[in-house]
């Protein structure tokens, strides 16, 4: 395999190979950087702001539903709140969260590379994301949208200003925002695929990639293949609304169900853009905190690719009651069930990894274990919805809302926050307080379950989603759910304070605080600009705990060229380290 | 007069079962529910057991991971077999419910922002209330006059989108007398959550009584005073979802999508077709052809046209006149 190898001589002259990537100061050093870690951190800050914004919208939605009738706001405002919650969380937070933020920071280091394959393209992706976000903000300032994040036609495309029957809100800027941000997603995908193929360090064979890398690789394929379909769909919607081109609106000769096919042809694969990276994070955390290679390494890697492929074949399950033929529903139901197989394979292998491991329940592990539990519930409730007869009853009720929150929050957000806890010491160089981390985790875990279990029950009892008001028999469930959202919000508040405290006066992080055998933990903390002080050559896998010595696990691999760069206690001489550097 | 007891459900997770379509779905639901419970408990128990048993201890090394081909095959193939059963359970129930009984009575269901209208085989239209005969097979022919809606009766476990430009269908036979709910399950704008209707399922004898007065006011002389009947029609037609309860022009303290009706009668209004004196004829035209003369400032939300019998129109106009 022709991995690109470089020598220290190929470094740029103005970069000190020993200096931390965080050393350069000043705004411009960030805005024009080509360093994948700095770009990743800017993504991280951006998606965190989006998450807080989307979270505030969510808390407002829940607060409005605390009592029957009007609690805080009128119906139009409520409809905008839930729409903006969805748009912000999906397009601004969750899609770029793990791949663009965490993937950018970690992926090249895990590959033993100096950077991604196309650093300038990487910076361009970030600017495109910001440019798209500006359109989103413009739409919000302009009154927002009340279409839901799905922009279903003809409600979204039929403008009353031109005699239509739809919404009068600011739809075009918001769809353009999603359209533009799609390009950011595509470019990141292209970049990651090229990086994984061409930038691996010598000795880093495909079988030695981390499962996080495999997950990002699978995700990138979906991003590149599916996102253009969203772009076309949103462009057609904009043309219909703006120019009166009849594509989806039956008054103009269009077909509204066609829009749903187009939309979900992207947005179902997008579900895997959201969840597969989270699965990758969990696989890596489980390995590090059980000190064991994940059981079924190839099965987990293959199931990521399997999910990426199957994700393209199941979009029709969003249309079981929308007006598809009985034959089409049958085929889509059968294909949907296939998704359960790779998902199940992952869960079983994760659980088996714990067996005879050496398990430490530090905070990143708490998030990874929560992921397994919550994703199991999210996945199994997906089977309810895949069963045709049951879906007819549950479709568009709160059951669906609870189901996808168990996958997206119980899965992706747990993976995202877990990954943040896991890699935080590496890229900030600071530790956080474990006790705060545990308190925050506890409130998030409890609050999340209280919020969404109540929604499962009211959903199966018939409560439709996107309702401003509801019948009296659903009030108790709404109240429990809103109460849960406050616990959940409090948990995230604790975590935010914890991370800020860590940045202000956290203890310096050692090179390998968790005792992991993966490559990113063997380089100094925080890593130098080109990630390693010496180009790594891999002689063993990143999960080969049985081949690593205790000293390596705690101190990072010995580096005879730059012994002073090791964090923690003084280096211990050992014969085994000869020619065995990570 | 008829009295309706709320029907109790015998399953905490599901609404009461009131049509022949519900039991196959409940059976499938129970099957997948217990299947999921078993899996969740097993996985969680294994997780917790391993966490406790293999907690990191000084001097104890983790066991290197080996290759477990048989185990991998086991947990790939076993779920594959399970999902065949799940698919089968879901599909048979679905196909059973997708087939109409011979000679089913056809009722047209029209969704519009934000009300449901039901048209019986006689051509009579009833808004906001669907009356059915116990034990009689029905087929609903669902359509929409504006945006997407979804016709959902939780007690029947049936749901189908109302799509503008096409028809969709559901069929069922009510099996229990009582009251059920119609929800709109596809988001359709401001008063989506107000787009409700009631289903009344009557035993055959009572249904015959009701059928005789279909399209007329049902009830005693006092309840059928024009303004009183008009008020009920006003609510059932969903007028309150745009004009506010009692035509106050306010919903939840904010300006409603449609103009205020209280005190409107006898006033002069500016409309898209010039100034208008509000009299019986203007109200009649505004109900039958709402977009002919739209009050200034309300052009962004369009009212769907309503079809009513003259008697019903008289009652609604009498009610609007009575609003001060």
In sequence order, the β-bridge partners of residue B270 are B275
Helix (H, G, I), strand (E, B) or coil at A581: coil
Q: Which of B17, B45, B87 to mutate against chain A (most A CBs within 10 Å)? A: B87
Q: Which of A323, A361, A460 sits opposite B14 (nearest CB)?
A: A460
Least confidently predicted of A112-121, A285-294, A308-317, B65-74 = B65-74
* Residue A154 pLDDT greater than 70, yes or no: yes
Q: Which two tokens stand for residue A8?
A: 């220290």
Nearest 10 degrees: CA dihedral of B268, B270, B271, B276?
30
Higher pLDDT, A6 or A380: A380
Q: Does B271 touch chain A (CB under 8 A)?
A: no
- Those residues with Cβ within 8 angstroms of residue A350's Cβ, 6 or more apart along the chain or in another chain: A282, A283, A286, A294, A300, A372
B62 and A545 in contact by Cβ < 8 A?
yes
* Residue B43 pLDDT greater than 50, yes or no: yes
Give the span between the Cα atoms of A126 and B70, in whole angstroms.
45
Q: Are A88 and A154 in contact (CB under 8 A)?
A: no
Give the span between the Cα atoms of A433 and B81, in whole angstroms.
47
Q: Which two tokens stand for residue A151?
A: 């922009």
Closest C-alpha to A343, from A419, A266, A422, A411? A411
Q: Please give the pLDDT value at position A426.
A: 94
Superfamily covering domain B226-322: Cytochrome c-like domain (1.10.760.10)
Q: Please give the pLDDT value at position A9.
A: 40
**Which pLDDT tens digit goes with each residue over B117-168?**
999 998 888 889 999 999 999 999 999 999 999 999 999 999 999 999 999 9
> ω before B264 within 30° of 0 (cis)?
no
**Which pLDDT tens digit goes with each residue over A407-442?**
999 999 999 999 999 999 999 999 999 999 999 999
The dihedral through the CA atoms of A209, A212, A218, A224 has a sign that is negative
> Tokens 């189901």 belong to which residue?
A403
If pLDDT is split at 50, 70 and 90, which confidence band does B273 have?
A: confident
CA of A159: which chain B residue's CA is closest?
B300
pLDDT-above-90 percentage for chain B: 51
Q: Tell me the HSE value of A195 on the side-chain side, using a 13 A CA sphere.
A: 32
Closest C-alpha to B199, from B214, B180, B172? B180
* Residue A531 pLDDT greater than 70, yes or no: yes
Task: Kindly state the helix (H) or strand (E) to which residue A27 belongs, with its residue range.
Answer: helix A27-31
- Those residues with Cβ within 8 angstroms of residue B205's Cβ, 6 or more apart along the chain or in another chain: none
A257 and B163 in contact by Cβ < 8 A?
yes
Q: Tell me the HSE value of B15 on the side-chain side, using a 13 A CA sphere.
A: 27
> Tokens 């965190």 belong to which residue?
A48
Q: Does A460 touch chain B (CB under 8 A)?
A: yes
Closest C-alpha to B227, from B125, B321, B128, B126? B321
* Residue A580 pLDDT greater than 50, yes or no: no
* Residue A182 pLDDT greater than 60, yes or no: yes
- E strand spans, chain B: 105-112, 115-119, 125-127, 129-133, 138-144, 149-153, 158-162, 168-172, 178-184, 197-202, 250-251, 254-255, 268-271, 274-277
A residues 526-565 lying closer than 8 A (beta carbon) to B: 543, 545-546
Average pLDDT (B158-179) is 94
Enumerate the residues of chain B whose CB falls inside 8 A of the CB of residue A467: 192-193
If pLDDT is split at 50, 70 and 90, which confidence band does A465 have?
A: very high
Helix (H, G, I), strand (E, B) or coil at B295: strand
**Which pLDDT tens digit goes with each residue over A212-243?**
999 999 999 999 999 999 999 999 999 999 99
Higher pLDDT, A342 or B290: A342
Largest CA distance in chain B: 94
In sequence order, the β-bridge partners of residue A20 are A528
Main-chain phi, psi angles of B109, to 5 degrees: -115, 120
**Which pLDDT tens digit goes with each residue over A480-496?**
999 999 999 999 999 99
Q: What share of chain B is helix, strand, coil (3-state, %, to 5)?
A: 35, 25, 40
Report the residue count for chain B: 324
Q: How many CB atoms lie within 10 A of CB B281?
A: 11
* Residue A115 pLDDT greater than 70, yes or no: yes
* Residue A3 pLDDT greater than 50, yes or no: no
Q: How many CB atoms lie within 10 A of CB B220?
A: 9
Closest C-alpha to A109, from A179, A187, A183, A201? A201
Higher pLDDT, A374 or B222: A374
Q: Please give the pLDDT value at position A522.
A: 87
Q: How many CB atoms lie within 10 A of CB A500?
A: 11
Q: What share of chain A is helix, strand, coil (3-state, %, to 5)?
A: 65, 0, 30
> Tokens 């106050």 belong to which residue?
B248
Give the span between the Cα atoms of B155 and B134, in whole angstroms.
14
Q: What DSSP state is assigned to residue A538?
A: -
Q: Are A321 and A391 in contact (CB under 8 A)?
A: yes
Average pLDDT (A503-531) is 90
Domains of chain B, residue spans = 22-98, 105-212, 226-322
In sequence order, the β-bridge partners of residue B274 are B271
Report the first-to-last Cα separation within chain B, whole angstroms.
31
Q: Are B264 and B322 in contact (CB under 8 A)?
A: no
Alpha carbon of B157: minimum distance to chain A alpha carbons (Å): 5
Q: Please give the pLDDT value at position B266.
A: 87
A389 and B56 in contact by Cβ < 8 A?
no
Q: Which two tokens stand for residue B217?
A: 């006011």
* Residue A12 pLDDT greater than 70, yes or no: no
Average pLDDT (A511-540) is 88
Q: Tell me the HSE value of B252 on the side-chain side, using a 13 A CA sphere.
A: 21
- Computed over every residue of chain B, the mean pLDDT equals 89
CA of A289: which chain B residue's CA is closest?
B56
Helix (H, G, I), strand (E, B) or coil at B170: strand
Q: What is the ipTM of this complex?
A: 0.88
In sequence order, the β-bridge partners of residue B127 are B117
Q: How many CB atoms lie within 10 A of CB A162?
A: 11
Enumerate the residues of chain B whose CB falls inside 8 A of the CB of residue A317: none
Q: Does B182 touch chain A (CB under 8 A)?
A: no
Q: Which two tokens stand for residue B318?
A: 């009498």
Q: Are B260 and A83 in contact (CB under 8 A)?
A: no
Q: Which of B65, B167, B188 to mutate against chain A (most A CBs within 10 Å)? A: B65
CA distances B312 to B59, B198, B210, B303, Å, are 87, 19, 17, 18
Nearest 10 degrees: CA dihedral of A37, A39, A45, A51?
-100
Give the span between the Cα atoms of B292 and A107, in whole angstroms.
63
Largest CA distance in chain A: 81
Main-chain phi, psi angles of B116, to 5 degrees: -110, 140
Q: Does B297 touch chain A (CB under 8 A)?
A: no
CA distances A200 to A2, A134, A167, A218, A413, Å, are 9, 36, 50, 16, 28
* Residue A7 pLDDT greater than 60, yes or no: no
- Domain topology for B22-98: Helix Hairpins (1.10.287)
B105-212: CATH number? 2.60.40.420
Helix (H, G, I), strand (E, B) or coil at B215: coil
Give the span between the Cα atoms of A86 and A75, in whole angstroms.
17
Q: Please give the pLDDT value at position B216.
A: 80
Alpha carbon of A515: minimum distance to chain B alpha carbons (Å): 12
Higher pLDDT, A564 or B156: B156
Q: Which of A69, A357, A377 sits opposite B40 (nearest CB)?
A: A377
Helix (H, G, I), strand (E, B) or coil at A553: helix
Helix (H, G, I), strand (E, B) or coil at B19: strand
Q: Please give the pLDDT value at position B5.
A: 55
Q: Please give the pLDDT value at position B300.
A: 67
Average pLDDT (A106-111) is 96
**Which pLDDT tens digit goes with each residue over A296-323?**
999 999 999 999 999 999 999 999 999 8
B87 and A333 in contact by Cβ < 8 A?
yes
Enumerate the residues of chain B whose CB falls inside 8 A of the CB of residue A299: 72, 76
Give the span between the Cα atoms of B302 and A400, in whole angstroms.
31
* Residue B205 pLDDT greater than 90, yes or no: yes
Closest C-alpha to A354, from B79, B66, B62? B62
Give the span between the Cα atoms of A215 and B14, in whole angstroms.
38
B residues 118-147 lying closer than 8 A (beta carbon) to A: 146-147
Average pLDDT (A122-151) is 95
Q: Are B132 and B172 in contact (CB under 8 A)?
A: no
Q: Please give the pLDDT value at position B304.
A: 83
Main-chain phi, psi angles of A168, to 5 degrees: -100, 5
Average pLDDT (A444-466) is 97
Higher pLDDT, B237 or A457: A457
If pLDDT is split at 50, 70 and 90, which confidence band does A555 have?
A: low
Crossing angle of helices A363-386 and A398-407, rounded to 10°: 140
Q: Please give the pLDDT value at position A569.
A: 40
Q: Please give the pLDDT value at position A573.
A: 40
Average pLDDT (B210-234) is 84
Cα angle at B24 between B20 and B25, to 5 degrees?
105
- The b-or-e profile of A281-302 (16+ CB within 10 A means b, else e) is bbbbbbbbbbbbbbbbbebbbe
Closest C-alpha to A459, from A512, A381, A554, A547? A381
Q: Please give the pLDDT value at position A563.
A: 40
A residues 317-336 lying closer than 8 A (beta carbon) to B: 321-323, 326, 329-330, 333-334
CA of A379: which chain B residue's CA is closest?
B36
Q: What DSSP state is assigned to residue B11?
A: S
Q: Please give the pLDDT value at position A552.
A: 72
- Rg of chain A taking only CA atoms, in angstroms: 24
pLDDT-above-70 percentage for chain A: 93
Q: Which of B9, B46, B95 sits opposite A326 (nearest CB)?
A: B95
DSSP per-residue string spanning A246-290: -SS-GGGT--HHHHHHHHHHHHHHHHHHHHHHHHHHHHHHHHHHH
- Computed over every residue of chain A, the mean pLDDT equals 90
Give the span between the Cα atoms of B159 and A320, in whole angstroms.
10
Q: What DSSP state is assigned to residue A474?
A: G
If pLDDT is split at 50, 70 and 90, which confidence band does A556 have?
A: low
Alpha carbon of A449: minimum distance to chain B alpha carbons (Å): 14
């Amino acid at each position: 395999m022709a991995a690109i190898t470089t020598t220290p001589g190929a470094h740029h002259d103005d970069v000190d190979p020993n200096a931390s990537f965080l050393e350069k100061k000043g705004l411009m050093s960030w805005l024009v950087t080509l360093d994948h870690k700095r770009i990743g951190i800017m993504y991280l800050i951006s998606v965190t702001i989006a998450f807080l914004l989307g979270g505030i919208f969510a808390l407002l939605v829940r607060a409005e539903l605390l009592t029957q009738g009007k609690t805080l706001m009128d119906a139009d405002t409520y409809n905008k709140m839930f729409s903006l919650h969805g748009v912000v969380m999906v397009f601004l937070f969750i899609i770029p969260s793990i791949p663009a933020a965490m993937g950018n920071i970690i992926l090249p280091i895990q590959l033993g590379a100096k950077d991604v394959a196309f650093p300038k393209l990487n910076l361009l992706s970030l600017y495109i994301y910001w440019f798209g976000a500006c359109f989103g903000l413009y739409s919000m300032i302009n009154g927002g949208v009340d279409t839901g994040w799905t922009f279903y036609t003809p409600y979204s495309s039929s403008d009353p200003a031109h005699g239509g029957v739809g919404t009068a809100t600011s739809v075009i800027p918001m769809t353009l925002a999603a359209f533009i941000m799609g390009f950011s997603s595509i470019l990141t995908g292209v970049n990651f695929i090229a990086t994984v193929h061409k930038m691996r360090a010598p000795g880093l064979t495909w079988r030695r990639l981390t499962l996080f890398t495999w997950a990002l690789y699978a995700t990138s394929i979906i991003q590149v293949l599916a996102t253009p379909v969203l772009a076309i769909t949103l462009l057609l919607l904009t043309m219909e609304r703006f120019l009166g081109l009849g594509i989806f609106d039956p008054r103009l000769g269009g077909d509204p169900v066609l829009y749903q096919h187009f939309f979900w042809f992207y947005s179902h694969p997008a579900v895997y853009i959201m969840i597969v990276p989270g699965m990758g994070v969990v696989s890596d955390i489980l390995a590090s905190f059980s000190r064991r290679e994940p059981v079924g390494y190839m099965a987990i890697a293959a199931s990521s690719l399997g999910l990426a492929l199957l994700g393209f074949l199941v979009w029709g399950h969003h249309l079981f009651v929308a007006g598809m033929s009985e034959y089409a529903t049958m085929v889509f139901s059968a294909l949907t069930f296939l998704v359960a197989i790779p998902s199940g394979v992952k869960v079983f292998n994760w659980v088996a990894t714990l067996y005879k491991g050496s398990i430490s329940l530090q905070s990143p592990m708490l998030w990874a274990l929560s992921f397994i539990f919550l994703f199991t519930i999210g996945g199994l409730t997906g089977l309810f919805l895949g069963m045709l007869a049951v879906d007819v009853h549950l479709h568009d009720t709160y059951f669906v809302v609870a189901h996808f929150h168990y996958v997206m929050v119980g899965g992706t957000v747990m993976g995202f926050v877990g990954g943040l806890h896991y890699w935080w010491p590496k890229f900030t160089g600071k530790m956080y307080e474990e006790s705060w981390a545990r308190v925050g985790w506890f409130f998030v875990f409890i609050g999340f379950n209280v919020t969404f279990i109540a929604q499962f029950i009211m959903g199966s009892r018939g409560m439709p989603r996107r309702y401003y008001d509801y019948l009296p028999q659903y009030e108790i469930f709404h109240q429990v759910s809103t109460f849960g959202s406050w616990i959940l919000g409090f948990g995230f508040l604790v975590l935010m304070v914890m991370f800020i405290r860590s940045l202000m006066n956290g203890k310096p992080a050692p090179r390998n605080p968790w005792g992991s055998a993966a490559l990113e933990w063997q380089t100094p903390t925080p890593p130098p600009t080109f990630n390693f002080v010496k180009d790594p050559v891999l002689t063993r896998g990143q999960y080969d705990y049985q081949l690593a010595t205790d000293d390596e696990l705690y101190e990072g691999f010995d580096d005879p060229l730059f012994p002073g760069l090791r964090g923690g206690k003084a280096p211990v001489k050992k014969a085994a380290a000869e020619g065995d550097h990570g | 007069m008829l009295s309706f007891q709320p029907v109790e459900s015998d399953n905490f997770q599901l609404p009461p079962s009131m049509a022949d379509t519900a039991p196959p779905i409940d059976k499938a639901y129970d099957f997948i529910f217990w299947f999921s419970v078993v899996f969740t408990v097993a996985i969680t128990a294994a997780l917790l057991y391993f966490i406790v048993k293999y907690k990191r201890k000084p001097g104890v090394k983790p066991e290197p991971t080996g290759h477990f081909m048989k185990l991998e095959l086991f947990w790939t193939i076993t779920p594959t077999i399970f999902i065949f059963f799940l698919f089968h359970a879901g599909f048979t129930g679905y196909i059973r419910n997708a087939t109409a009984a011979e000679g089913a009575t056809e009722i047209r269901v029209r969704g519009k922002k934000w009300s449901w209208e039901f048209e019986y085989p006689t051509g009579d239209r009833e808004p906001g209330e669907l009356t059915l005969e116990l034990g009689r097979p029905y087929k609903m022919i669902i359509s929409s006059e504006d945006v997407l809606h979804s016709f959902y009766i939780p007690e029947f476990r049936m749901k189908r989108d109302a799509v503008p430009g096409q028809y969709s269908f559901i069929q069922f036979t009510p099996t229990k007398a009582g009251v059920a709910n119609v929800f709109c399950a596809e988001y359709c704008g401001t008063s989506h959550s107000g787009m409700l209707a009631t289903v009344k399922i009557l035993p055959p004898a009572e249904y015959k009584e009701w059928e005789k007065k279909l399209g007329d006011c049902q009830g005693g002389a006092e309840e059928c005073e024009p303004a009183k009947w008009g008020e009920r029609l006003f609510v059932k037609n969903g007028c309150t979802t745009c004009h506010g309860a009692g035509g106050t022009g306010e919903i939840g303290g904010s300006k409603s999508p449609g103009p205020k009706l209280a005190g409107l009668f006898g006033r002069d209004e500016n409309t898209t077709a010039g100034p208008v004196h509000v009299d019986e004829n203007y109200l009649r035209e505004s109900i039958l052809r709402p977009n002919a003369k739209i009050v200034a400032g309300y052009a962004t939300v369009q009212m769907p046209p309503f079809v009513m019998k003259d008697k019903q129109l008289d009652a609604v106009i009498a009610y609007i006149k009575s609003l001060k």
